[in-house]
Structure 1
Amino acid sequence: MSPKRTRPKRKRWFLALLLIVVALLFIRSEWLGKMVYPIQYREEIGMNADRYAMDPRLIAAVIRVESNFEPNAVSPKGAIGIMQVMPDTAQWILKQDDFGDITVKQAGERADAGIRLGAWYLKELLRQFDGDIVKSLAAYNAGPGKVKQWLREGAWDGREDTLTDIPYGETRRYVQKVLFYHKKYGELYDNWS
């Protein structure tokens, strides 16, 4: 007789636990959000955001989509490091500014070096596209020359509400993901420090 009595108690306990978990998922909880959307290397991201006068949440969103915070990631196309810069682009970046003793190899292996080069490059794209985040993100993925070609030829007008017009599906999805994480990080990490 006692096994029959414990079953309803177990079911009630399990149901109560399930309701609590579901409630936590639907409540806008900052700590839960930060568990689901963590940001690693906050100090390095913050330093480079300050150095290049950028939103650290944008840098973090690019990193999340590019490598999911993996410092030595290598893409199938050969992009390297935490911010997935192509080696030839990294070499070009190193010639544009004083990066101390950072090398392309280090940018592909060390988070601090990869974030420094990737943040500089993102800032350069923002400069080229007059501060337009959407166009700059598309250029980060497809290359600035390709985005300028799309704009010139009218394939895409560069607006967020016309992302579906981006000729490359990969770039279209990339920009959508980075914008999603940028917004999410803005909600969760409104105070960076």
Structure 2
Amino acid sequence: MRTLKKRFVLPLFLLVLAALFFNSGWMAWVYPIGYKEEIREQSKSYDIDPFLIASIIRVETNFKPSKESRVGALGIMQLMPDTADWAIEQGKLPEATLERIKHEPDTNIRIGTWYLRNLTDQFGDNRLAVMAAYNAGPGNVRKWMKEGTWDGTLENVRDIPIGETRHYVQRVIYYYNQYTKVYETF
């Protein structure tokens, strides 16, 4: 009787495991997206791909709010205070303060997404240049592209002269690809 149970339980367990593996829903546990409503709302407001926003947040803070980096970047999307102040002024978003940007994910996502819209406008929808500019600043990216250091393509991402930015862009691309595979829609 005991051997019969083992012969039945093990294949059943493997069958359930295989069903979970091939069902793409389990991958959402490996690649969760936090703050979906906030991301969805700001994505629509500023016409930015929600998977790009989620990928940046994943790389920056892994969806953990109230973060402050060693260089002073604030909140879930790790906005530098000068960039945040500039975005608040340019975007006419006076209700956002640095304190709110640091501690309130919805405010941080709104300012971060506004900034992504601004970068997208600057770089003509070159998503890789936008990613690099989010990390290294638009002036650096414009300089690299103007001087021919980096052409803004995935094939030549290794030419990004700042290692942190090169790695950042590769990580954002990785999570973007995973999210678009795991989630059919946002």
Q: TM over 0.5: same fold?
A: yes
Q: Is the 8 A contact 2:48 2:116 kept in 1?
A: no
Give the share of equivalent positions with the same residue, in percent.
Answer: 44
TM-score, length of structure 2 as denominator length: 0.90
Q: The residue matched to 2:95 in structure 1 has which SS?
A: coil
Displacement of 1:24: 5.8
Residue-by-residue CA offset, 1:61-103 (whole Å, 9 max, x unaligned)? 1111111111211112111100001011100111002225111
Residue-by-residue CA offset, 1:19-55 (whole Å, 9 max, x unaligned)? 864x46752x222111110111100000000000111
State the AA in 2 paired with 1:171: T
> For 1:48-127, what aligned pairs fall within 5 Å after superposition?
48-127=42-121
Runs (4+) off by over 3 Å: 12-21, 23-26
TM-score, length of structure 1 as denominator length: 0.86
| Correspondence for 1:185 | 179
| Correspondence for 1:142 | 136
Q: Is 2:150 the counterpart of 1:173?
A: no
CA distance in 1, matches of 2:125, 2:59: 20
* Residues 1:137 and 1:13: Cα distance change in structure 2 (over 3 Å): same
Of 21, 25, 40 in structure 2, the residue corresponding to residue 46 of structure 1 is: 40
Q: Is the 8 A contact 1:87 1:104 kept in 2?
A: yes
Q: Is the 8 A contact 2:65 2:76 kept in 1?
A: yes
Residue-by-residue CA offset, 1:130-189 (whole Å, 9 max, x unaligned)? 011000100000110111111122111111111111111111111111111112111222
State the AA in 1 paired with 2:124: D
Q: Is 2:12 the counterpart of 1:30?
A: no
Q: Is the 8 A contact 2:123 2:130 kept in 1?
A: yes
| Correspondence for 2:123 | 129
* Residues 1:164 and 1:16: Cα distance change in structure 2 (over 3 Å): farther
May I ask how many residue pairs the two structures share in their alignment? 186
Q: The residue matched to 1:62 in structure 2 has which SS?
A: helix
| Correspondence for 2:154 | 160
| Correspondence for 1:151 | 145
Q: Is the 8 A contact 2:61 2:77 kept in 1?
A: yes
